[in-house]
Amino acid sequence: MTSMKSLLVFFFVGILALGIVHAQINPKPILYGQAFNGVAAADGSTVNVYPQNSPGDALSDTVGAAGNTGLSSYWKVNLNNLNTDVNNGDKIVINLTDGIDYTVKTYEVNLNDGIVYFSLNLNPAFQDYDGDGFFADVDCNDNNPQINTNAEEICGDGIDQDCSGQDLSCEFSANITIFVGWSSFALPIKPAGIDNSEQLGQAINGLGLDCEVVMRYNGNTQLWEDDILGLADPSFTLSGTEGYFIFCNQAGVFNYEGNPWV
């Protein structure tokens, strides 16, 4: 019995030691900083910190003398106190609110950071969290320096880079004129949602045209490549620099929208 007790004590001490070693191997950063509303200390407001993928696991502190630091305008949160095991690359959300105004910053975890300083400000005209030179009252994403009112807008990617209020639509369109028999054409833009010859043939036939085959001459292999609609031939990837041939039993125009070739 005594030896069983010793064994159990040994077992639990071992687990405790492993836990300590684990905590020492993976210490988490401590986030701290100052919080303002304009130029005034935001004492009494609340800082909430939580992993982006685990919002329920939140830590909070009160800014100023009543909080963790005891210092006016300062706050501090220790990520070691999270239940979630955060690792490099995880996103941490830092919220500041006084019950009326609200601001948010994200922090990407780097376990080598140790102690990290953040200045927060409830007044958007005093925020430039991503350091891109545009304050949050005009920067529509103040956690991303690639996004601001001076950024280059990329059409059709679902992201509003230049803060215009929406993504720029890729409103390019082109026509392929189709004759009875063989027609040749190039693709001045990449047809939206069409990646290969089979899809292109189906889209053209979807207009009600009766076409049978899309072909391309491959300069590298010196061979014709074809995709016979409906016969499950291997389709080839389209590009903006190749010429294509199509065989149709009636004439028409294939009008399509798309994006510039990249």
Q: Which of residues 3-42 bind Ca ion (CB under 5 A)?
A: none
Verify binding: residue 148, Ca ion, rule CB under 5 A: yes
We find the least distance from the C-beta atom of residue 125 to Ca ion, in angstroms, to be 12
CA 173, 177, 181: angle at the middle one, nearest 5? Answer: 150
Residue appearing with tokens 């376990």: 111
Identify the residue among 157, 184, 231, 255 touching Ca ion (CB under 5 A). Answer: 157
Q: Which CB sits closer to Ca ion, 26 or 146? A: 146
* Among the residue ranges 69-77, 81-89, 120-128, 185-193, the one whose residues contact Ca ion (CB under 5 A): 120-128
* Among the residue ranges 14-22, 166-174, 226-234, 249-257, the one whose residues contact Ca ion (CB under 5 A): 166-174
Identify the residue among 132, 200, 227, 235 touching Ca ion (CB under 5 A). Answer: 132
Identify the residue among 43, 128, 198, 227 touching Ca ion (CB under 5 A). Answer: 128
Verify binding: residue 167, Ca ion, rule CB under 5 A: yes
DSSP structural state of residue 237: B
Verify binding: residue 103, Ca ion, rule CB under 5 A: no
Verify binding: residue 142, Ca ion, rule CB under 5 A: yes
Can you tell me the distance from the alpha carbon of 160 to that of 164, in angstroms, rounded to the nearest whole number? Answer: 7
Verify binding: residue 159, Ca ion, rule CB under 5 A: yes
User: Around Cβ 45, how many Cβ atoms within 10 Å?
Assistant: 25
Query: Do 29 and 79 meet the contact criterion of CB atoms below 8 Å apart?
Result: yes
We find the least distance from the C-beta atom of residue 251 to Ca ion, in angstroms, to be 38
Identify the residue among 147, 178, 187, 194 touching Ca ion (CB under 5 A). Answer: 147
- Six-digit token pair at 201? 């043939």
Residue least distant from Ca ion (Cβ)? 139
SS (H, E, C) 181-227: EEEEECCCCEECCCCEHHHHHHHHHCCCCCEEEEEEEECCCCEEEEE
Verify binding: residue 162, Ca ion, rule CB under 5 A: no
Can you tell me the distance from the alpha carbon of 248 to that of 7, in angstroms, rounded to the nearest whole number? Answer: 85
Cβ neighbors of 48 (< 8 A, separation 6 or more) are 58, 59, 60, 93, 94, 95, 97
User: Around Cβ 204, how many Cβ atoms within 10 Å?
Assistant: 23
We find the least distance from the C-beta atom of residue 187 to Ca ion, in angstroms, to be 23
The residue ranges that bind Ca ion (CB under 5 A) are 128, 130, 132, 134, 139, 141-142, 147-148, 154, 157, 159, 161, 167
